[in-house]
Structure 1
Amino acid sequence: MSLDTPRENAQAGGGLPSRLTPDRVGQLKALLRGGLVRPEDADYEESCRLYNAMIRKRPALIARCTDAADVLAAVRFAREQELTLAIRGGGHNGGGLGLCDGGLVVDLSRMRGVRVDPADGTVRVAGGSVWGDVDHATHAFGLAVPSGVISTTGVGGLTLGGGLGYLTRHYGFTIDSMLSADVVLADGRVVTASEEKHPDLFWALRGGGGNFGVVTSFLFRAHPVSTIVGGPTLWPLERATEVMQWYREFIPAAPEELSGFFAFLVVPPVAPFPQHLHLKKMCGVIWCYSGDLARADEVLAPVRALAPVVDGLQPMPYPALQSAFDALYPPGLQWYWRADFVKELGDAAIARHLEFAERLPTMHSSMHLYPIDGAAHRVDPQATAFSFRDARWAEVIIGVDPSPAKAAEISAWAKDYWDALHPYSAGGAYVNFMMDEGEERVRATYRDNYARLVQVKSHYDPDNLFHVNQNIRPTAEAAALH
């Protein structure tokens, strides 16, 4: 099949492509221990739900995989039948890239499991696990793997995009703790990618997204993290300029064990937030200090010196912080994301931020600035596929609300906000924060690493079977050079 051969798919209604006879579908079903979901099945609608309810897609088939053999059977079937193929782990992807219209979905959500080896500090994680699974297993040993900020996020999607979160300054991105991955390739092989085996593939998996195969198992290095000091500090929106100017200077100079992402937010009407602040627009920083607890008060003294009106800083198990926002952002909300990398947070940019913070459209909508420095900066930008290690922040603007009636409003706010701030950005964006934004945005995100990614893609997936992602298109020329 050539690079540009269109795959025959069903219509968006979820029916089967005409050549997929009941016998062929039955053959696939017989190969799957986890089962096969079809449009006529009672659980089809539930199986099509995504974390982002703004996205609706109707696949022809959903393969519920329980092991690598199921994944292998599904990938081979999609290739042989020339079906569009999507891979779903945690399902959190903002653009809904865990599903496809009319094709086959490899659903990894039943492939959950974590094994910690405390002797050598490694963690083996099944490809369909979520970060809450990992946090639960590692915390018992006083360990953690760097991840994100919501525990229901899938391990696979977050890792393959880079992995940005509370421990980035202390221990780097998730990919910096990744030791190997077991991968089902487009040609039906199953390989282990590491520094020693298939190092080109291992390089690309660390930040290049789901372009290269289906990861059925990860091996991570864990780090000593147990009780942390964390939580939110909030200030009135009227002080946002002052707080942002302070934050841009404080974070890069702070000990690497301290991280905190800045946010504009509407205070949720729940405890422990004071009732008089409920539904009030504010600015804040959500902190995580993972260093020596005896030094916590000293390290956080400059934060408290800024006199936050809410000081939620307290000792807690690391998994408690990781899951603190799970209830606020359950599956099924309407989401619209826009993002950029940022190198400088100048006064002019801060002024534009304030304009849109004052117009936060809903309680769930927000803007976050995640710090990128410390340990993440000490890795060469070409050592992994993740290119923007020289950025200072990953900015994400999220329009969110439970009601579909708000979809147009929250999307327009996010788009306008991004348009206003993009001129102050470094270009490109964290792929896990991107919607379906086109090839040029993907190129801008990988910069000088893009050509090498094309070579790896062209070698391992020359027909672009894995294209429901932030796609890196293969070329015949690149395949010849590999």
Structure 2
Amino acid sequence: MASVLDSRLLTDLRAALTGDVIARGDDAYDEARTVFNGMIDRRPKVIAQCVNDHDVAAAIAFAREHGLEIAVRGGGHGVAGTAVNDGGLVVDLRRMNAVTVDPEAGIARVGGGATFSNLDRATQPYGLATTGGRASTTGVGGFTLGGGSGWVERKFGLACDNLLAVRLVTADGRTVLADENRNSELFWALHGGGGNFGVATEFDFRLHSLPVIYIALLLWPAEAGPDVARAYRDFMAAAPDEVGGGLLYLTGPPEEFVPAELVGKLAVGALFTYTGGEAQAKPVIRPMLELGHAGGMLTELPYAELQCMLDDPSGFRNYWSAEYLDGFPDPAVDLFCARAHDMVVPSGSQHALLPMGGAVARGSADLPVPWRAAAWGVHPFGMWEDPADDARGRQWARDLCADLKPWSMGAVYLNFIGDEGEERTVAGRGERNARRLAAVKTEYDPENVFHLNHNIAPG
């Protein structure tokens, strides 16, 4: 096709959609094609800002008729930037972000383009919540379809463990409903299998009572890291399911709770989340409070406020990876802490260790989320401004994962990695699930129309 779509074809597409159609040269084009990772600079031919299932089906049909690769955009947070493509069509779901809550049934119905800000703000007035991303700007759809790991997962399970139903538009334009009784194999695949089966336009989630959440973010100078990490490891080994959070190296932010000597410097922090109030939380986390932190913040707040309080700014250059561990013995602690000094500082990067277990480990082993059995997740989350730091940032993330390989269980959470090759993609879903996932793919997308986002090839 021509580098710019014929105006007549665009007129036809605009007539077919209730939502907006944005093409190269339009005033809104650059903003519409921008995603979270500032490294991504792709230029699709057309962006279809859909408002309903009919729009989605029409956009898919148009793209297929005119030989355009299809990208699907929800939150646009994926580090590989597959929510946008070069020279293709983007099915942009962001206007399909409505959330309705049935507090009596404890269910939320969520549009496929919603972020966790939309979801959490809708459920908070009822004192209800479900496991969400660790930032409110994360898209609900991609997060859930990849499994969904968040701060309250040890208490409430992964996002996909709370998934009750999905509405999906297929490659041939059909709208199908998937739940335990309808299209059950597809429903199984959508629990961690990813977003390559169609365009998910609506989700139903189970909600849990969570009127408030307590957090404690404790900070120490970087040289205290090995001692803090060992104490944190031992504490979490016996912690109840209500405790979540993580251990992380970070650049000390210019906040009141951060000592002046740590601002702009490499520091080590321990974040504790507790699915309850201060009175219940304080006695539980007291051993960590008694370590003598240099600074920190302890507060009780609504869950929705926690989610947006830790939002990462958009526009920075991003590179992430992950490794999931069976254990975290002293040699692993030493390597983890030593590698933190290779992180880009100052920057928004985080050198994170996340505790698993609890409801995550007790969830169904039948689902395509084999990493749920891990004891720990190591997550180098790189975020910086200067392109000159790209090589250094990537190498730090890769080296950290390589350092911890001796303790790796092999499986990996695909939402935490970009394009790291077919072997890692298979590791994210489990080898024993591969044939079953391929069969589902063959039934719903036999021509592999949706092949981005850690592709599953049809059988």
TM-score in terms of structure 2 length: 0.96
1:406 paired to 2:389 = yes
Among candidates 422, 436, 445, match of residue 461 of structure 1: 445
Identity of aligned residues (%): 41
Contact 1:333 1:402 in 2 (8 A): yes
Among candidates 198, 201, 208, match of residue 213 of structure 1: 198
The aligned amino acid for 2:60 is: V
1:196 paired to 2:181 = yes
Contact 2:196 2:450 in 1 (8 A): yes
1:437 paired to 2:425 = no
1:298 paired to 2:301 = no
Give 1:293 deviation, angstroms: 4.5
Among candidates 284, 290, 298, match of residue 269 of structure 2: 284
Alpha-carbon distance in structure 2 between the residues aligned to 1:430 and 1:335: 17
Alpha-carbon distance in structure 1 between the residues aligned to 2:420 and 2:351: 19
1:83 paired to 2:68 = yes
Alpha-carbon distance in structure 1 between the residues aligned to 2:155 and 2:98: 26
1:125 paired to 2:125 = no
Give 1:142 deviation, angstroms: 0.5
The aligned amino acid for 2:227 is: E
Alpha-carbon distance in structure 2 between the residues aligned to 1:359 and 1:394: 19
Contact 1:264 1:367 in 2 (8 A): yes
1:450 paired to 2:450 = no
Give 1:129 deviation, angstroms: 0.7
Distance verdict in 2 for CA 1:312–1:292, change over 3 Å: closer
Contact 1:265 1:366 in 2 (8 A): yes
Contact 1:54 1:407 in 2 (8 A): no
Give 1:341 deviation, angstroms: 1.4
Contact 2:167 2:178 in 1 (8 A): yes
Alpha-carbon distance in structure 1 between the residues aligned to 2:123 and 2:317: 32
Secondary structure of the structure 2 residue equivalent to 1:28: helix
* Alignment correspondent of 1:418: 401
The aligned amino acid for 1:128 is: G
* Alignment correspondent of 2:224: 239
| Partner deviation per Cα, 1:13-59 (whole Å, 9 max, x = no partner) | xx34xxx5433332112111111111121221111111001112111
Contact 1:381 1:388 in 2 (8 A): no
Alpha-carbon distance in structure 1 between the residues aligned to 2:191 and 2:102: 22
Contact 1:258 1:291 in 2 (8 A): no
1:470 paired to 2:450 = no
Alpha-carbon distance in structure 2 between the residues aligned to 1:82 and 1:149: 37
Contact 1:252 1:373 in 2 (8 A): no
Among candidates 367, 370, 373, match of residue 354 of structure 2: 370
Alpha-carbon distance in structure 1 between the residues aligned to 2:204 and 2:386: 39
Alpha-carbon distance in structure 1 between the residues aligned to 2:71 and 2:263: 40
Alpha-carbon distance in structure 2 between the residues aligned to 1:236 and 1:292: 28
Alpha-carbon distance in structure 2 between the residues aligned to 1:213 and 1:249: 43
Deviant stretches of 4+, over 6 Å: none
Runs of 5+ unmatched residues, structure 2: none
Contact 2:231 2:288 in 1 (8 A): no
The aligned amino acid for 2:410 is: G
* Alignment correspondent of 1:3: none
TM-score in terms of structure 1 length: 0.91
Name the stretch that deviates more: 410-419 or 444-453.
410-419
Alpha-carbon distance in structure 2 between the residues aligned to 1:41 and 1:407: 31
Among candidates 334, 345, 352, match of residue 317 of structure 2: 334
* Alignment correspondent of 2:310: 325
Alpha-carbon distance in structure 2 between the residues aligned to 1:180 and 1:420: 40
Among candidates 35, 39, 47, match of residue 62 of structure 1: 47
Contact 2:36 2:316 in 1 (8 A): yes
Alpha-carbon distance in structure 1 between the residues aligned to 2:260 and 2:334: 29
| Partner deviation per Cα, 1:412-455 (whole Å, 9 max, x = no partner) | 32223333333432223211111111211111222222221111
* Alignment correspondent of 1:5: none
Contact 1:287 1:313 in 2 (8 A): no
1:113 paired to 2:108 = no
1:359 paired to 2:347 = no
* Alignment correspondent of 2:147: 162
Count how many residue pairs are aligned between Structure 1 and Structure 2.
Answer: 457
Contact 1:51 1:331 in 2 (8 A): yes
Secondary structure of the structure 2 residue equivalent to 1:355: helix
Among candidates 386, 389, 393, match of residue 376 of structure 2: 393
Secondary structure of the structure 2 residue equivalent to 1:399: strand
The aligned amino acid for 1:102 is: G
Alpha-carbon distance in structure 2 between the residues aligned to 1:270 and 1:402: 20
Secondary structure of the structure 2 residue equivalent to 1:285: strand
* Alignment correspondent of 1:428: 411
* Alignment correspondent of 1:480: none
The aligned amino acid for 2:457 is: R
Alpha-carbon distance in structure 2 between the residues aligned to 1:393 and 1:84: 37
Give 1:275 deviation, angstroms: 2.1
The aligned amino acid for 2:444 is: Y
The aligned amino acid for 1:263 is: L
Contact 2:221 2:262 in 1 (8 A): no
Contact 1:234 1:310 in 2 (8 A): yes
Give 1:300 deviation, angstroms: 1.5
Q: Aligned-pair RMSD on alpha carbons?
A: 1.6
Give 1:206 deviation, angstroms: 0.9
Secondary structure of the structure 1 residue equivalent to 2:423: helix
Alpha-carbon distance in structure 2 between the residues aligned to 1:444 and 1:132: 30
The aligned amino acid for 1:45 is: D
Give 1:292 deviation, angstroms: 5.5
Give 1:239 deviation, angstroms: 2.1
